[in-house]
Amino acid sequence: MTALAILGGVALTGCGGPETPRAETLAPPGSPSPAGPSPGRASPASPSAGSPSPAASAPDRAEKPPTLAPGPAGLTPVFERRAPAPSPSPGRNDKVVALTFDADMTADQGPRAEAGEHFDNPGLISLLRRSKVPATVFMTGRWAEEYPSQARSIGTDPLFEIANHSYSHYAFSTPCYGLPTVEEGEMRGEVERAFDAIRATGARQVVPYFRFPGGCYDDASRKALAPTGVTAVQWDVVSGDAFATDADAVAQQVLDGVEPGSLVVMHCTRSAAPVTEEAVRQVVPALRERGYRFVKVSELMRG
């Protein structure tokens, strides 16, 4: 079993705004110490977005998604990437990478959706299906309620798994890109309400993972979420797709940053990340040419 990187660190993605990502590493509870960000290392008919991929293999229903044990003082554990084994077993390919996509939508953005703003990205999901790329979608409960048929389609396709991104996409610590803040006493409910909304769509491949909106958290929020049993999932590669307009630059940032065991954060929200689909169109063949295979977070965590 390869080592798991269980970190209290965070690199902000810009889910809530176009600011430059930064990182901070939490020491044991009660003694935070800052750290700088990781340097960037600057056919057949296609299935529709609403149809599960016929080529996707059936999930292993006998094996539950892995989770990490609680951290010190019972804090919610945080997983950032899988460290490669010191010496790979014969025949084992440790050149794996997990692409993750945040389906962001705040609780108060309904009027914008009604006015025609697209918080979904069915073209991206179709591309992943055509390319046979497994992925984990971190979905807000509000997104699931706005796009229930898409949530159900993603959550019943064995190629994908759905994780929790809170109900409202409000911040769990401040400052966090100007997002409204969830009160500490409401944090657990935000996670449970999101799971309820996602499962209400009929999604079945729902895993016990959670991503903090904006990547912002502290010890208080980790403690508040401990009763939910989730494992918080961060990343080690920031794609920079949030509010980006240059797909080539986004693709290059991913390709420069990926290493064996990496976890990439991207977005499944056309309004806030309009070039993600085109960037993925470049990233997938380039990484495959380098010998990488794509896995979901559950497989990356399993090691």
Band of pLDDT at residue 282, cut at 50, 70 and 90: very high
The candidate with the shortest Cα–Cα distance to 222, out of 3, 7, 2, is 7
Instruction: Supply the pLDDT for residue 178.
Output: 94
CA distance 173 to 168: 14
Q: What is the pTM of this model?
A: 0.81
pLDDT digit string, tens, across residues 204-248: 999 999 999 999 999 999 999 999 999 999 999 999 999 999 999
Asked whether the beta carbons of 13 and 102 are under 8 A apart, the reply is yes
Q: Residue 100 pLDDT > 60, yes or no?
A: yes
Confidence of residue 83 (pLDDT cuts 50, 70, 90): confident
Residues in the chain, overall count: 303
Give the domain ranges of the chain.
73-83+108-303
DSSP string covering the chain: -PPEEE--EEE---TTSSPPP-EEE--STT--B--PPPPP---PPPPPTTS--TTSPPP-TTSPPP-PPP-GGGPPPEEEEEPPPSSPPTT----EEEEEEEE---TT-HHHHHTT-----HHHHHHHHHHT--EEEEE-HHHHHHSHHHHHHHHT-TTEEEEE--SS--BSSSSSTT--B--GGGHHHHHHHHHHHHHHTT---EEEEE--GGG---HHHHHHHGGGT-EEE--SEE---TT---HHHHHHHHHHH--TTEEEEEE--TTT-TTHHHHHHHHHHHHHHTT-EE--HHHHHH-
Cβ–Cβ < 8 Å for 205, 59: yes
Average pLDDT, stretch 98-104? 98
- Residues 47-75 pLDDT 10s: 334 444 444 444 444 479 999 999 888 99
What is the rounded CA–CA span in Å between residue 111 and residue 120? 15
- Measure the CA–CA gap between 237 and 261, rounded to whole angstroms: 11
Rounded distance between C-alpha atoms, residue 22 and residue 1, angstroms: 31
CA distance 160 to 203: 11
As a whole number, mean pLDDT of residues 100-123 equals: 97
Task: Find out if CATH 3.20.20.370 is the number for domain 73-83+108-303.
Answer: yes
Token couple for 82: 């899988």
